[in-house]
Structure 1
Amino acid sequence: MPVQLQGSHSGDDHGDEARIEVVPLIDIMFFLLASFMMVSLSMTQLNRVPINLPEASTGVADSKVPPFQITIDPAGVITWDSKVVTLSEITTRLQKEAAPSESRVLISADADSRHKVVLEVLNAVRAAGIEKVSFESKTPQP
């Protein structure tokens, strides 16, 4: 007669099968997802070109976000989607990606940027056939 030790299983008795608890794994996945979202949102703010917008008290707030935003920093460097571009690249890219009658462009120029650079960007946008152009400004503080 074989001796049965406590905790040992015979061939007929399978005992409790091991199983993976799914609920704690789901909790961890939600935590990782939320953490990833927060980090990626903070990184998009870091990639923005720092500019000091001019004030305009007569401006109208636009609720629609235009699909094309071009930024001009104080040194006159032109960026689009955080990448430095030339005037000819602006025209070429807008001609490829934009529908002239429907597309809008938002120009965000620093208050200290040269007027000449802003006009050159405006001319490049118009050369692509875009007629709807807005300038970003901030509301004056009381």
Structure 2
Amino acid sequence: MKILSPVPEKKGRIEIIPLIDIMVFLMACMMMVNLEMIRMRGLKLNLPTAQTATPENRSDFLTLSIKETGQVFLEKEEIDRAALVDELKRRKEKEPNLRIYVQAEMNTLHGDVVKVLDKVRAAGIQKIGFQVKEEAPASGASGLSASPAPTPGLHP
């Protein structure tokens, strides 16, 4: 014998729209966190552009920035050129495969860059890359010259 209930029987169902809202929110949060993780650790400089630059963001490198005035920054902290070799040697002892990405402003003197590279080599670091901005492809319709893309890249 079947007992009738005054409460109507309902089948359970999964509401899809709130699930989609939550998934879109989580995806947006993940994208924002990812963008923060690939932020460059060097200074914001006016980097030269190169057509063959390829975007590359890695977390296992040190960024050495050289400003137009000749100031040297290691990971956004200004460092004296005399202390640069000792600091790089200390960091190389902790990380034997230490890599340096050098970024210099477009109008930095070549001599300043060479002096800093000499200090890096004196510290025993052999893996050195240069950061440049990737050049945007030229638009054929407008006839204007291409402006540099904001994405920094590695140009070995």
Which TM-score band (shorter chain)? 0.5 to 0.7
How far residue 129 of structure 1 moved from its aligned partner, in angstroms, is 0.3
Residue matched to 1:49: 43
Tell me the secondary structure at the aligned position of residue 135 of structure 2.
coil
Structure-2-length-normalised TM-score: 0.56
Match of 2:126 among 122, 131, 141: 131
Q: Which has the higher strand share?
A: 2
1:87-102 equivalence runs, <5 A: 87-99=81-93, 101-102=96-97
Q: State the superposition RMSD in angstroms.
A: 2.7
Contact 1:50 1:73 (C-alpha < 8 Å) held by counterparts:
no
How far residue 57 of structure 1 moved from its aligned partner, in angstroms, is 1.0
Q: Which ranges of structure 1 fall in alignment gaps of 5 or more residues?
A: 1-33
Task: Write out the 4+ residue segments of structure 1 that deviate beyond 6 Å after TM superposition.
Answer: none
Structure 1 residues 55 and 67: CA distance shift in structure 2, 3 A: same
Contact 1:69 1:108 (C-alpha < 8 Å) held by counterparts:
yes
Q: Which ranges of structure 2 fall in alignment gaps of 5 or more residues?
A: 1-28, 139-156
Residue matched to 2:55: 61
Structure-1-length-normalised TM-score: 0.61
Match of 2:67 among 55, 62, 73: 73
Tell me the secondary structure at the aligned position of residue 121 of structure 2.
helix
**Paired positions, count:** 101
